[in-house]
Amino acid sequence: MDNVLRLALDPITQFAALVLVLVFARTLVRGRQTQRFLVHIVFFVILTILLVGNNVAPWTTGIADDDLTHRIFIGVAKATWWAGGAMVLASSVRVYLIFERKPREGRLIQDLLVAFIYLGAALSIIAFVFDLPVRTLIATSGVFAIVLGLALQSTLNDVFSGIALNLGRPYTVGDWIEVEGGVRGQVVETNWRSTHLLNDTNDLVIVPNSTLAKATLINLTGTDSVDGAKVVIRALPTRTPAAIEETMKTVLLSANSILKFPPPSVSVTGLDGSAVEVELSFKVASLGQTGIAKNEIFDLVYRHAKAAGIQLSTAANVQMEAASSDSSKHPGTPWRLLTSIPLFSALTEDEMETVANSMTRCTFKKGVVIAPQNASMTSLMIVRSGVVSVELDDDDGGREELTRLAPGDLFGERGVLMGAPEPATMRALTFVVVYEISKDHLASVMHERPALVEELSQLLAKRMETEEHLKADGSAGAEAHPISLAAKIRHLFRLPH
């Protein structure tokens, strides 16, 4: 019993047990920086009490003990004490950055501070444990440092450039930046050598820190989440700049992927004998939406320009001349409108002519309700020009806009194809021209061309799915499936399967 008590009170045994407890505790708290910081503090405090209690001062030089075992123990204990102090300081740095909620952003500075902490601990061990002259060692290693620095000149340039960028903070993790030369992306990480950007196509772009330090940077992330974008359009000067500007304003009015506030703007930026240059400026909710918004704007520019008779500056080529000659064969607006809609692309020329002759032109002033909510429409309506707002009336008398329709878009298909009421109100946001195809004329075309049923069922299913998504009321019903819709349309129009 006395031997066990003597062994338990032996400083070497206590030190070994303390180290084993540290290893076990670090294993338990792996990946949790805050708990690891507390473990390091407890270990350092207990180790300090153990050493001081046995008359061992880690911060003094020399080991005054004739017993070789005790001398080795004291040397190891003092080295462990310095290493434990370094672990406490390093853990405090990491925990601070976690509390600041910027662990990745401060990675470079964090690594530098930790490196200096452990370097100081190593020099302290050399001075206070091995009793070696640190100044001489530093002077001797200076020559080696010069040689190493010359060999790693490019790497060190990136490292110190990274330090300067972190101190200057021209950007942080999460910001969108554009580097001189056209490289643009969102900052996802900064490290010793480079900064990692995620571009619009989700490709990882690695830019050396030295390149960023020398280049002109544009931080695209402002004080809020709203980001701006521009689209430049060139049109042939066959219409006045004011008319082209008004058409482009209608383009922005019909766009669904841009922000309505702050309002978008249109400005004429150039005019010569070949083209009128117009710039469309708008805002999007985030930079990730810029590509989607631009794609929609280009599509709407084409549709509105065609509806308004405006030719884009690239229209003067052989293909467009061939198209214009075909239009001269069928000069009517209904024909041109049908040819621009993919839904009727499968019709023959005679069938297209029949449908075009049956279409009726209707006009609506700005603010007029074209079709109220819950109305059952008997004609398929095709927007010729202008913008139509699809609005949902709530029980409190308010209105919620679901989407906007532009030239070439259809509505009324639910009532014509299924006899169902319209789920939303159709309101003219501008002066609107629509062409309508009656249910009887559409039925005659579908009897001649049964494949049109599949196209209409796909269109109706997509429209119903979009409405359910915009209303965010769960999921679309089973009736939104194209196959079931096609079966209902065939049954309603008495078409063969």
User: In the prediction, which pLDDT does 254 show?
Assistant: 92
Kindly state the tokens that stand for 459.
Answer: 């269109």
The answer to the question of residue 370 being in a domain is: yes
pLDDT tens sequence across 362-420: 999 999 999 998 888 888 899 999 999 999 887 777 788 888 999 988 888 888 877 88
Which CATH number characterizes residue 353's domain?
A: 2.60.120.10
> CA 417, 418, 424: angle at the middle one, nearest 5?
95
The answer to the question of residue 158 being in a domain is: no
CA distance 322 to 315: 11
Answer whether 355's CB lies under 8 Å from 436's CB. no
The answer to the question of residue 259 being in a domain is: yes
> Which whole number is the average pLDDT over 436-453?
79
Pair type for strands 432-438 and 379-385? antiparallel
The answer to the question of residue 412 being in a domain is: yes
**Dihedral angle sign, alpha carbons of residues 394, 399, 405, 411:** positive
pLDDT of residue 481 exceeding 60, the answer is no
CA dist list (Å): 439 to 155, 419, 433, 444: 74, 10, 19, 9
CA distance 236 to 273: 8
Cβ neighbour number for residue 444 with a 10 Å cutoff: 16
User: In the prediction, which pLDDT does 324 show?
Assistant: 43
CA dist list (Å): 25 to 129, 135, 422, 459: 27, 37, 67, 63
Average pLDDT, the chain: 78
- Regarding whether 369 and 266 lie in a shared domain, the answer is no
- Grade residue 473 by pLDDT with cuts at 50, 70 and 90: very low
- Regarding whether 387 and 260 lie in a shared domain, the answer is no
- Regarding whether 478 and 348 lie in a shared domain, the answer is yes
Answer whether 72's CB lies under 8 Å from 139's CB. no
User: In the prediction, which pLDDT does 449 show?
Assistant: 73
- Regarding whether 367 and 265 lie in a shared domain, the answer is no
Host domain of residue 447: 328-493
CA dist list (Å): 203 to 5, 185, 193, 212, 215: 65, 9, 19, 18, 21
The answer to the question of residue 378 being in a domain is: yes
CA distance 51 to 418: 89
Boundary (domain end) residue, out of 219, 242, 262: 219
pLDDT tens sequence across 281-327: 998 887 778 888 999 999 999 999 988 889 998 644 434 343 444 44
The answer to the question of residue 110 being in a domain is: yes
Kindly state the tokens that stand for 383.
Answer: 């927007």
Which CATH number characterizes residue 187's domain?
A: 2.30.30.60
- Regarding whether 352 and 469 lie in a shared domain, the answer is yes
Task: Provide the number of structural domains found in the chain.
Answer: 4
- Regarding whether 403 and 287 lie in a shared domain, the answer is no
The answer to the question of residue 446 being in a domain is: yes
Which CATH number characterizes residue 288's domain?
A: 3.30.70.100
Answer whether 84's CB lies under 8 Å from 19's CB. no
Task: Please give the backbone phi and psi of residue 342, each rounded to the nearest 5 degrees, phi first.
Answer: -60, -25
pLDDT tens sequence across 322-378: 344 444 444 567 887 887 777 677 677 887 888 888 899 999 999 999 999 888 888
> Which whole number is the average pLDDT over 35-53?
86
- Regarding whether 137 and 182 lie in a shared domain, the answer is no
> Which whole number is the average pLDDT over 69-86?
83
The answer to the question of residue 323 being in a domain is: no
pLDDT tens sequence across 131-181: 777 666 666 665 556 655 555 567 777 777 877 777 777 888 888 888 887
Q: What is the crossing angle of helices 11-28 and 2-9, to 10°?
A: 70
Boundary (domain end) residue, out of 274, 292, 316: 316
> Which whole number is the average pLDDT over 89-102?
66
pLDDT tens sequence across 219-228: 877 555 567 8
Kindly state the tokens that stand for 407.
Answer: 């030239």
Boundary (domain end) residue, out of 94, 125, 151: 151
Q: What's the per-residue H, E or C state across the chain?
A: CHHHHHHHHCHHHHHHHHHHHHHHHHHHCCCCHHHHHHHHHHHHHHHHHHHHHCCCCCCCCCCCCCCHHHHHHHHHHHHHHHHHHHHHHHHHHHHHHHHCCCCCCCHHHHHHHHHHHHHHHHHHHHHHCCCCCHHHHHHHHHHHHHHHHHHCHHHHHHHHHHHHHHHHCCCCCCCEEEECCCEEEEEEEECCCEEEEECCCCCEEEEEHHHHHHCCEEECCCCCCCEEEEEEEEECCCCCHHHHHHHHHHHHHHCCCCCCCCCCEEEEEEECCCCEEEEEEEEECCHHHHHHHHHHHHHHHHHHHHHHCCCECCCCCHHHHHHHHHHHHCCCHHHHHHHCCHHHCCCCHHHHHHHHHHCEEEEECCCCEEECCCCCCCEEEEEEECCEEEEEECCCCCEEEEEEECCCCEECHHHHHHCCCCCCEEEECCCEEEEEEEHHHHHHHHHHCCHHHHHHHHHHHHHHHHHHHHHCCCCCCHHHCHHHHHHHHHHHHCCCC
- Regarding whether 120 and 101 lie in a shared domain, the answer is yes
User: In the prediction, which pLDDT does 10 show?
Assistant: 73
- Regarding whether 89 and 231 lie in a shared domain, the answer is no
CA distance 183 to 212: 11
User: In the prediction, which pLDDT does 264 show?
Assistant: 92
- Regarding whether 431 and 334 lie in a shared domain, the answer is yes
CA distance 125 to 102: 33
- Regarding whether 465 and 387 lie in a shared domain, the answer is yes
% pLDDT > 70, the chain: 77
CA dist list (Å): 421 to 277, 377, 415, 487: 44, 7, 6, 19
> Which whole number is the average pLDDT over 220-243?
81
- Regarding whether 143 and 61 lie in a shared domain, the answer is yes
Pair type for strands 227-235 and 276-284? antiparallel
